[in-house]
Copies of this chain bind each other. A is one copy, B any other.
Amino acid sequence: MYIDHNQNLSEVLKDYKKAVEASLDQLLPPENVMPNKLHEAMRYSVFAGGKRIRPIITLLCCKLFSGNLEDALPVASAFELIHTYSLVHDDLPAMDNDDYRRGKLTNHKVYGEAVAILAGDALLTKAFEILSRVPKTTSIKADVANLIIETAAGAAGNLSMIGGQVMDIMTEEIAGREKNISELILFEIHKRKTAALIAAAAKAGAFVAKASIKDVNLIEDFGVALGLLFQMSDDLLDHTATREELGKTPGKDGAKNKLTFLSLFGPETARRKIDEFQQKTLLLLEPFGDRANLLKKLTSYIATRSN
């Protein structure tokens, strides 16, 4: 990850993913430590695949402001743990009741519901433990670590990710209402459930690099837009992708008559809206010029991805 990759996004994604996974492996408790089953369950979901988009965004935003990528790694990893915990809990029978995730059985299908709930809890807790320790393990100062923890907790909390999930599971209640209201609500759910954590991961990278408040705010706006774009393309993929590409049962959102970007607009309009939103997102990177080339490429990759 120390080579300068200014042009080739796929090389960067590959290298960063590898660095993040090595960091996660080092930060997570070994499986042979008691209680083994909990530690196995934590590692099972963290290493069940995934593109590591959130930690990669942290690293790219740190790199944008010439920050130290070694310092950013544990911070980036903490965001992946928060993301993974949210997936483990979302998949539970009481929530989305999913049997597969990324082509593998979901955590509770392998370890049972009790351990899956606790493994999710432990991943969230571990994320904050890691962030609290960065002043000991990196050159990040204590006040910056606190800002990062506040940002992560805010993005994962009751007004953001968890709040969005609650709104998501309650969408049936509003499904019958008119389209304009539904679009507003859907936007609000996506912003909370997906975009807030992606924006926080981006901000955290800027914090590590000691970016100015102005730059942090610009990066936050970009992160929110990128997060919305990610969720839009995710909804579309649920409709168009095969089971193999998706790693989970495709079309499940539609089958549950869930309010999604796709159920609201249909595939053609959804595709057009994604393309338009991609352009808006790219505009938010203009203040950074060529330095943001990799983030621009990541934006296009997210808008057009097929898995």
- Interface, chain A (partner B; CB < 8 A): 29, 33-35, 37-39, 42, 85, 89, 92, 94-95, 112-115, 117-118, 120-122, 124-126, 128-129, 131-133, 135, 141-143, 145-147, 149-150, 153-154, 156-159, 162-163, 165-167, 169-170
Contacts and interface: CB of A to CB of B under 8 A. Distances in A.
A95 B114 contact: yes
A41 B154 CA distance: 18
**10 closest residue pairs by CB, A with B:** A129-B153, A94-B113, A132-B149, A142-B142, A132-B150, A122-B158, A142-B143, A125-B157, A35-B166, A38-B166
A192 to B, nearest CB: 9
A118 B157 CA distance: 10
Contacts of A114: 92, 94-95, 169
Copies of this protein chain in the complex: 2
Contacts of A157: 122, 125-126, 129
Most buried by B among A129, A141, A169: A129
A142 B117 CA distance: 31
A132 to B, nearest CB: 4
A42 B129 contact: no
Contacts of A169: 114-115
A126 B128 CA distance: 12
A39 B163 CA distance: 9
Contact of A117 (B117, B126, B132, B153): B117
